[in-house]
Structure 1
Amino acid sequence: MKGPLEPVLRRVTSPAVVRHGTAVRLLRGLAAARVLPTPSRVTLAKRLRTGMIRAGWSPEESRAALAAVARTVDADTRADLLVQEVTGELKAGRTPAHLAEAVGAELAAADQAYARGDRAAAARRLHRALRTQFHRTVQFDQLTSPLVDDPAAFLAPLRDSAVGRVLLAPRGRSVPAAPPPADRPLRLLVMTNGNDHFLREIRERYADHPGVEFRYLHLADDPVAAPLTRRVDAMVAEPVLGGSEYGEQVERWLRPHLDWADVLFVDWAVATAVMVTLVDPGDTRVVLRLHSFEAFSFWPHLIDFSRIDDVVFVSDHLRDLAAAVSPDLVGEYAPRLHVISNAMDLRPYAMPKEPAARFTLGLVGISAVAKDPRWAIEVLRLLRAEDPRYRLLLVGAGLNTGAGEAIRAYGEALEVDLAELEPAGAVVRIGQVTDVPKALTEIGVILSTSVRESFHCAVVEGAASGAVPVVRDWPFFAAREHGAHSLFPADWVVRTPAEAAARIRAETADEEAWRAGGAAAAAHALATWDWTVTRHHFDALLGVADPTAD
């Protein structure tokens, strides 16, 4: 801060003074005693925090100086101070110890703005609180998640705030969804925005179904909807403001689609789903499929589940987590919940494997920290300590280390591992492939090493190819009723790299045992998850008669 206090502030935050513990405590007291005006106290806190870090103080001790000042200022200033500090920690790739405190301060400031009638300011602060609480560093770029550890505690600041309750309040629908028509084909509209990989079989089935009139809309291709999907701030603001121009724009775009469709199937619980539930759907039945990453994001907290009739999950453990994260999924206005596996045609994966594949482990998909490819490296080391014939194929695009410091740090550690093993041919990176079934012909053991998955199509496709599955009991769900241990056969699932190595040695002890294990895995995959099985579940969900049924 410029002005007459600048020399004093520069002096008391100098390295020599900061290194002295007594001086730091004195400065804290000076700030807390409100001797200085608020702007000067804020400047002092920031400089003191920076100086303490440079002087080698622990993060907890240096943060205490900032927190002491934060307690002496008004709600808006306190929120700005704490959120700015948290943002710095997140950019550095760390989950801040005071994340909940900062989010709570932001929501308290939002509540005050709402109480005094400044709903626009309340909406802005609510939006910032959500972006901070669900930052990718916290939820996606590390091997643990505070949301999974204790959903109720993590979400308490949002649920306890006035603006949070406004955001989460169910608005309901004017009339219930109509039953399927008896005198004409069912009008089915499928909407998505982004990854449409999981829709191929669904689209093909219903586009040619005699009992369905089918339409498909990818919002990124819609000149009206595409810009609306990017207005997250407006989505947050709509319920807080109690009506906005944005909400009217969504209504004008969506209403003709709702008027046409008997059933609207929305894939992914993201912006499309939020936009749909900003509008009263009338008697159109709304079905939403929630995959995985959405549960770790702010999206479910923007979706009004009272306007959705059915929510589909790809696994029991994902359903359980989503219900813990979003109580509206099990409350008075809750939709019906279903568990239906991803739609997958597994038959093309049954291709012959050469004998050398017996000693080749495969990990398909390594683009996220949650895939934890270093766990696979540890398994490989244990195997090669006894038999150097084992090797690992890494299939798919690598980590985007430019996305954040946490992912960069993991990527650097992985590169150290690979630098040790790649020169000897123990690890081979083959990058992104267009023909996955062909790539799987080289893989005799398919791995799932992730800390979390909703279903893990890659390991099921590998099993369908005749590779022996070895699935880590995904740590995010290992202690819960449902997880990898309930989704897959018990002998597929392991807890530790040592258990994984032991299973691989046993299953690949000789070629006959390996081929028999792969054949059993393929038979289970086809009988359980192939589209010839799961399509009947989708027919029942959507109210479509099977044209091949007697």
Structure 2
Amino acid sequence: MKGPLDPVLRRVTSPAVVRHRVAARLLRGVAAAPVLPTRARVTLAKRLRSGMTRAGWPPAEARAALAAVARTVDPDTRADLLMQEATGELKAGRTPPHLTEAVRAELDAADAAYARGDRPAAARRLHRALRTLFHRALHFDHLTSPLADDSAAFLAPLRDSVVGRRLLAPRGRSVPAAPAPTDRPLRLLLMTNGNDHFLREIRDRYADHPGVEFRYLHLADDPVAAPLTRRPDAMAADPVLGGSEYGEQVERWLRPHLDWADTLFVDWAVATAAMVTLVDPGDTRIVVRLHSFEAFSFWPHLIDFTRVDDVVFVSDHLRDLATAVSPDLVGDHAPRLHVISNAMDLHAYPRPKEPSARFTLGLVGISAVAKDPRWAIEVLRLLRAEDERYRLLLVGDGPNPAAGEAVRQYQEALDADLAELEPAGAVVRVGQVTDVPEALTGIGVILSTSVRESFHCAVVEGAASGAVPVIRDWPFFAAREHGAHTLFPAGWVVRTPAEAAALIRAETADEGRWLAAGKAAAGHAIATWDWTVTRRGFDALLGLDDPTAR
């Protein structure tokens, strides 16, 4: 439906200075109209903003419409207006310039509700603030993240608010975890929900370990737990409400598992871990493994780490980020922190390379914007400017444009690159493969072009296959103490596409050098990250002997 200001706005199209003057007058008129009820002013401001957008005004000018009115209304209405505007920006794939202001307004309204005793309203607003702070458009659909740039500033609104502090308040446990039994096998319950890709070797080892009585539970297969995992709103509400029916449901489901297990190992610090720490674990030892995605989500803020005994990370740089994001991971009552690499059986990967592999770059896994395959294409262009034998193999499905506007825009740019390079055979898309070791026989240089990774199994598998690793110093961590530059040998890591192209030219200059570099990479990968090595870390974590070492 058209608003009464549409005819005016359609006529005000240029020049920019005129638009600014007209906008300022209109906004002052709407904001300073005390004779109009709040609802009328809000409705008029929304129509003004909508009309400005349709008339093609810059987003910053149109955005001012709601911001001006937001300064003149009650706190609840102000929060609703600012959050609505922020949500619109996020849906459009943009980072709202007033994100912090909107989240603070929402949390101020939550605090006011909490102060007047309306805890359900406070919990609802807290959940909306969390969903906005950790919207995928902020952290997953772009090549940067405000959380990675300055986690303290980004999370300040949450930590400064009353309801935020209530959410993050430690509840602790009634008794410490009991020591591992010495007169019977360790009762180990491995629990996850969702991706179990990183659990195969761990499951196989402890299911057959003579010192372990093993159980495995995937919550998606549990008729009681599965619906509970889909209630992050209830998880956030429970500590604000001071207890809830939801918390009691989790207690009834979880208690028999806690009564049986000596150690509960939760893979992924997501819904499962949040549910587990809603409950006092008694003397059961709780271990949680945090991968990467979780650090950029609201899940760590729903987990009470004072009820966790041990947290496992797959790399030092991920541990550093997680402790910055979740201060409860350090301090007197914090869990023990461990760094243990992902469990990978690498012995299947060394195979003879195809003759064409020397000039074939490979990027395995391109399903997320963070993988940044366009960086690989820039490297390829630099190489082909001097030698057209180089080509790029893309293994896996690309980003899903339906995930969000920013993803669609990235995929559109990638498609333009591919339309230019594919006809000449410079880029070949393979799609998903079931036999990764076989696919790697055709790849002589394995790339990691991501802006962030926790570990990057694909590049380690490529190295184990005898491909030469060329790893971008992941920008999210490049300026930090730890990152790709400390996880991998220095000779594998580069900062720019030009450095990557120079390294590739050098390592593929002749067949002998290329084969020798690949053999050295395979030796390092298997000696450092194969399951025969990393399983010792898991055995030590669980207090178990290695039965194969006897």
Specify if TM > 0.5. yes
Structure 1: state its 5+ residue gaps.
Answer: none
The corresponding residue for 2:506 is: 506
User: Which residue of the partner structure matches residue 545 of structure 2?
Assistant: 545
Instruction: Note the C-alpha offset of 1:57.
Output: 3.4
CA–CA distance in structure 2, aligned partners of residues 17 and 461 of structure 1? 59
- Paired with 1:11 and 1:467, the residues of 2 have a C-alpha distance of 61
Structure 2, gaps ≥5 residues long:
none
Tell me the equivalent position of 2:490.
Answer: 490
C-alpha displacement at 1:232, in angstroms? Answer: 1.2
The alignment yields a C-alpha RMSD, in angstroms, of: 1.5
* Residue 48 of structure 1: how far off its partner (Å): 1.8
The 5 A counterparts of 1:47-446 are 47-446=47-446
One-letter amino acid of the structure 2 residue matched with residue 152 of structure 1:
A
* Aligned length, in residue pairs: 545
Partner letter of residue 29 of structure 2?
L
User: 2:32 is aligned with what amino acid?
Assistant: A
1:92-125 superposed Cα distances (whole Å, 9 cap, x missing partner): 1111111111111111111111111111011111
Do the aligned partners of 1:13 and 1:44 also contact (CA within 8 Å) in 2?
Answer: no
The alpha carbon displacement at 1:12 in A equals 8.6
One-letter amino acid of the structure 2 residue matched with residue 165 of structure 1: R
The equivalent of 2:32 in structure 1 is: 33
> Is the contact between residue 42 and residue 69 of structure 1 (CA under 8 Å) also seen in structure 2?
yes
Note the C-alpha offset of 1:60.
2.4
- Residue type of the alignment partner of 2:23: V
In 2, the alpha carbon distance for the partners of 1:400 and 1:54 equals 28
Q: Deviations over 1:226-272 (max 9, x none)?
A: 00000111111111111111100000000000000000000000000
Q: Residue 41 of structure 1: CA displacement?
A: 1.2
Shift of 1:11: 7.1
Residue 20 of structure 1 deviates from its aligned partner by 4.6
Residue 16 (structure 1) aligned with residue 11 (structure 2): yes
CA distance in 1, matches of 2:322, 2:485: 18
CA gap of 1:17–1:354, structure 2 versus 1, over 3 A, is: closer
Q: Deviation per CA, 1:397-430: give whole Å up to 9, x if none.
A: 1111111100000000000000011111111111
Question: Aligned-pair distance for 1:50?
Answer: 2.3
Residue 165 of structure 2 aligns to a residue whose secondary structure is helix
Residues 409-455 of structure 1, C-alpha deviation per residue, up to 9 Å, x if partnerless?
00000000000111111111110001000000000000000000000
CA distance 1:463–1:34, shift in 2 (3 Å): same
Q: Is the contact between residue 357 and residue 443 of structure 2 (CA under 8 Å) also seen in structure 1?
A: yes
After TM superposition, the score normalised by the length of structure 1 is 0.97
Contact 1:366 1:396 in 2 (8 A): yes
The answer to whether the 8 A contact 2:5-2:51 is kept is no
User: Shift of residue 318 of structure 1?
Assistant: 0.3
| 1:105-162 superposed Cα distances (whole Å, 9 cap, x missing partner) | 1111111111111110111111111111110111100000000011001000100011
- Kindly provide the amino acid, as one letter, of the partner of residue 478 in structure 2: A
Q: Report the Cα offset of residue 29 of structure 1.
A: 1.9
Task: Measure the CA separation in 2 of the matches of 1:101 and 1:24.
Answer: 22
Provide the secondary structure at the position in 2 that maps to 1:548. Answer: helix
SS of 1:166's partner is: helix
Contact 1:13 1:51 in 2 (8 A): no
CA offsets 1:321-364 (integer angstroms, 9 cap, x no match): 00010011113321011100000000000111122110000000
**Does 2:523 match 1:528?**
no
State the one-letter code of the partner of 2:121.
A
Distance 1:467 1:358 in 2: 9
Describe the shift of the 1:225–1:11 C-alpha distance in structure 2 as closer, same or farther (beyond 3 A): closer
Deviation at 1:24, TM superposition (A): 2.4
Contact 2:9 2:55 in 1 (8 A): no
Amino acid at match of 1:48: L
Answer whether contact 1:13 1:48 (CA < 8 A) is retained: no
Give the match's secondary structure for 1:474: coil
Does the CA contact (< 8 Å) of 1:141 and 1:406 recur in 2?
Answer: yes
